[in-house]
Amino acid sequence: MSKLKDPTLLKEACLIDGAWVQAASGETIAVTNPADGSVVGRVPHLAAEEIPAVIAASAVAQRAWAALPAKERAAKLRRWFDLMIENVDDLGLIMTLEQGKPLAEAKGEIAYAASFIEWFAEEAKRIYGDTIPAPKADQRITVIRQPIGVTAAITPWNFPAAMITRKAAPALAAGCSMIVRPADLTPLSALALGELANRAGIPAGVLQIVTGSASKIGKVLTDSDVVRKLSFTGSTEVGRLLMAQCAPTIKKMSLELGGNAPFIVFDDADLDAAVEGAMASKYRNAGQTCVCANRIYVQRGVYDAFAAKLQAKVAALKVGDGTEPGTDIGPMIEPKALDKVEDHIRDALEKGAALVQGGKRLGGLFFEPAILTGVTPAMKVAKEETFGPLAPLFAFDTEEEVVAMANDTIFGLAAYFYTRDHARMVRVSEALEYGMVGHNTGLISNEVAPFGGVKQSGLGREGSKYGIEEYLEIKYICSAV
Ligand SMILES: NC(=O)C1=CN([C@@H]2O[C@H](COP(=O)(O)OP(=O)(O)OC[C@H]3O[C@@H](n4cnc5c(N)ncnc54)[C@H](OP(=O)(O)O)[C@@H]3O)[C@@H](O)[C@H]2O)C=CC1
Ligand SMILES: O=C(O)[C@H](O)CS(=O)(=O)O
């Protein structure tokens, strides 16, 4: 890839025990650019039989890594953060070429991804314990927190860097090792991060990155009793499967799964702010994020005004190759993603909705950002996650009605609402059954706050002071004195 300042960041190999390794079979997987179908690179297609050695290396490395003083682990993580920031242009370009998002968004994700490493480099030094007054004079009670041990992560294609560091940073900060299996569609970002981890002095085997069959590699990782924790980001369907696979070994799990975010606009909202928030929440990454507004509810008195304002903004979005200046919406990741958006539009139209903006294929994997009006709870788009650039507008009359509709889903990841009434802000933020709620904002993701869902959107939290708990075990020590 000639445009890289540092071409050695394009790693077409797996990171195993500190070395860059090909599959024993020599088989590879092509990584293609969703903008034009060109091959960006090729990564190894490891066989399942090659994974036990990776797990063994992880176990050896983890013991030495955990034995380091926290301050030394923190310093290496901080160096990894610094190297990511220094290489943001190359990391962003690699991401745009394999995932499609506009370059500015890709660079923004690199900064977001790096922020987790910066944050947990600091948290590494603050893993405190407790002393507890004993019930007997000849006893002393202490509580310490220790790393879980060998961990694994399986990550999705939509945030090829942030979903790696949001798991690896707390794991390594806690003294764990981690084996990462990135999505086949976007492994190059993860492998570039692995190269920078090596350069940062993170010891061989502490962070390993393997590519190949998700189900076969996943099965080896979930079956292993050495792997004590699995962190997964992806669909609820695969999350359920992995939970079942982890049950026989009683693995700790973190699950960041599907969403179906309601975005509610009350009639007392600042409409321009609400439109800006809807644009940011809905069309980021071409709508391919789990916290995207999936259902937009607008109180009847402002419905037409909101729809008109939103349509004007959406009509101005530039769809194109993510490397082209001014592109707002890149290609979608694969053909089935466009099929799902079209299916949701077709179903809504058959049930009485109107397509007032966009909704056409633009060739290849490009899709025209769309708006539906007259949407009702009877339509697929009310129950299923579109994961694409489609804004379905529902009208509502009362607060009670819209909260009930917003909560009528198996998901509970993110929700958003716009109101300038303080009492309503308190009532609605407490009534919404979601792990994360945005009030008068459509962007809630950062490294300092606990990211995660309730109901069938997942288990656990990532980021924040809570995120490191996912990689620690509590040990209670009772001493007779
Ligand atoms: N809560 C969150 O933060 C996020 C949730 N999601 C949700 O995921 C969906 C879209 O993302 P998508 O990546 O397609 O989700 P998938 O669940 O299909 O894939 C996620 C990851 O799991 C891997 N995978 C797939 N099947 C298995 C299996 N049987 N065993 C082990 N690993 C497997 C995939 O590998 P491969 O792709 O190589 O086959 C990929 O690396 C949406 O529902 C979205 O909401 C997505 C991102 C973030
Ligand atoms: O996978 C996702 O969709 C991300 O978690 C969304 S975010 O963290 O970038 O908001």
Atom of ligand 1 nearest to the CA of 458: 1
Band of pLDDT at residue 2, cut at 50, 70 and 90:
low
Nearest CA to ligand 2 atom 8: 445
CATH architecture of 262-439: 3-Layer(aba) Sandwich (3.40)
Query: Taking residues 259-266, what's their average pLDDT?
Result: 98
Does residue 209 contact residue 191 with C-beta atoms inside 8 Å? Answer: yes
Does residue 84 contact residue 117 with C-beta atoms inside 8 Å? Answer: yes
Q: Is 256 a catalytic residue?
A: yes
Atom of ligand 2 nearest to the CA of 109: 9
Query: Taking residues 10-20, what's their average pLDDT?
Result: 98
Distance (Å) from CA 232 to ligand 1 centroid: 8
Residue 17: pLDDT above 70?
yes
Pocket test for ligand 1, best of 43, 180, 217, 235 (most atoms within 8 A of CB): 235
Query: Taking residues 397-412, what's their average pLDDT?
Result: 98
- Rounded Cα distance between 188 and 13, Å, is 9
157 lines ligand 1 (CB under 6 A): yes
pLDDT of residue 56: 98
Residue 214: pLDDT above 90?
yes
18 lines ligand 1 (CB under 6 A): no
Residue 141: pLDDT above 90?
yes
Indicate the pTM of the whole model: 0.97
pLDDT of residue 341: 98
Task: Using DSSP bridges, classify how beta strands 19-21 and 14-16 pair: parallel, antiparallel or unpaired.
Answer: antiparallel
For the chain, the average pLDDT equals 98
CATH no., domain 7-257+457-480: 3.40.605.10
Band of pLDDT at residue 424, cut at 50, 70 and 90:
very high
Band of pLDDT at residue 1, cut at 50, 70 and 90:
low
- Rounded Cα distance between 21 and 319, Å, is 38
Q: Where are the domains of the chain?
A: 7-257+457-480, 262-439
- Rounded Cα distance between 27 and 219, Å, is 20
Residue 369: pLDDT above 70?
yes
Q: What is the ipTM of this complex?
A: 0.95
Atom of ligand 1 nearest to the CA of 157: 13
Predicted confidence (pLDDT) per residue in 73-90, tens digit: 999 999 999 999 999 999
Q: Which of 256, 385, 462, 469 is catalytic?
A: 256
123 lines ligand 1 (CB under 6 A): no
238 lines ligand 1 (CB under 6 A): yes
Band of pLDDT at residue 111, cut at 50, 70 and 90:
very high
Distance (Å) from CA 162 to ligand 2 centroid: 8
Task: Using DSSP bridges, classify how beta strands 414-418 and 261-265 pair: parallel, antiparallel or unpaired.
Answer: parallel
Residue 68: pLDDT above 90?
yes
Q: Dump the DSSP string for 267-331.
A: TTS-HHHHHHHHHHHHHGGGG-STTSEEEEEEEGGGHHHHHHHHHHHHHTPPBS-TTSTT--B--
Question: Among 121, 158, 128, which Cα is nearest to 142's?
Answer: 128
454 lines ligand 1 (CB under 6 A): no
Does residue 275 contact residue 309 with C-beta atoms inside 8 Å? Answer: yes
Helix (H, G, I), strand (E, B) or coil at 87: coil
Query: In which order are the strands placed within the sheet that holds 130-132?
Result: 130-132, 139-147, 472-480
pLDDT of residue 230: 98
Query: Taking residues 99-103, what's their average pLDDT?
Result: 98
Query: Taking residues 395-413, what's their average pLDDT?
Result: 98
Predicted confidence (pLDDT) per residue in 114-140, tens digit: 999 999 999 999 999 999 999 999 999
What whole-number percentage of the chain has pLDDT above 90?
100
289 lines ligand 2 (CB under 6 A): yes
Atom of ligand 2 nearest to the CA of 443: 10
Query: Taking residues 90-111, what's their average pLDDT?
Result: 98
- The distance in angstroms from the start CA to the end CA of the chain is 66
- Rounded Cα distance between 282 and 414, Å, is 12
Nearest CA to ligand 1 atom 30: 215
